[in-house]
Amino acid sequence: MPFLSHAGVSLRYDRAGAGPAVLLIHAWTFNRTVWERQVLALRDRHTVVTVDLRGHGESSHPRTGYTVPAMAADLEHLVRALAVPRVALVGWSFGGLVALELTRRLGERVSALGLVCTTPGGLSDPENPLARPPAEAAATRAQIESDFRGFVRDFAPRLFKAGGASPFVAWAVAQMQRTPPQAAVACFDASLAADLRPALGTIRVPTTVFHGRHDALLPLAAGEDLARQIPGATLAVFEESGHAPLLEESGAFNAALAKLLAAEPVGDVAATRPAPPTRTARAPAKKPAAKRPTPKKR
């Protein structure tokens, strides 16, 4: 079981396959096992790295260090330790914030960027349409702190188009409840404090924004706006998904991700010309007979 130490934190990660590297970054209170379908789909052509963010999964659970920059610094150290010349970054939800900060840090070492049902932050800015009223954010934080397990039971169904009827709910609850409440609260605070909006116009790598049409946490309009702000970005809409297309429509998601990873570098042209119009790639409808996830016991 590979671990890597950084700033007093032990990071648990997995590495599979061979070829150009891709780092998959999980969402708030999840862990690296959420990407199992993507690892299986990509490992024949890519070196696929999954990692538990600090405070999650089998990584250390320190009392401090849960800012987005601190967690991106952990992953920057991991990328450099792996000695890969370039790496594609894919971040889901909270992991998208970390991926944006890591893109800023790694610069030309980033080969592509995938942002899955995420936001560039600024959620404490009252002028941001996605900002939550302070009283609402405070009430959510208090609920997470006082009864995290109960909060997760209520929250998990909102991740999926089918709500509580989704076959993924029980598994999601079990994974999320493994996260210590103090880490969940700290990362919730980090999501409100982060603001990567000023960096969006500087991104010069092939980028796809992946978004479920039925996302109950972040409306599709937020994904459309995010794609518009990144030069040359593509928007992939998943018609049968909520906040988790990587699970709900894993086949269509994996195909769209493979397309991103095969994209040509943006190069210097994007830095000198106006950004081209955003292209929208609509994923095909979900095929029947989706299987219930069966993650391996850790």
Catalytic residue among 60, 211, 243, 250: 243
Catalytic residue among 26, 52, 111, 215: 215
10 is catalytic: no
Burial class (CB in 10 A: 0-12, 13-18, 19+), 296: exposed
CA dihedral of 218, 49, 77, 7, whole degrees rounded to 10: 80
Find the farthest-apart pair of alpha carbons in the chain and give their distance in angstroms, rounded.
52
Instruction: Decide: 49 and 23 in contact? Cβ < 8 Å.
Output: yes
Catalytic residue among 93, 111, 191, 241: 93
**SS3 assignment, position 234:** strand
14 is catalytic: no
Q: In angstroms, how far is the first alpha carbon of the chain from the final one?
A: 10
215 is catalytic: yes
Gap between the Cα atoms of 72 and 80, Å rounded? 12
For residue 132, give the nearest of 191, 184, 199, 183 by alpha carbon: 191
Tell me which residues are annotated as active site.
93, 215, 243
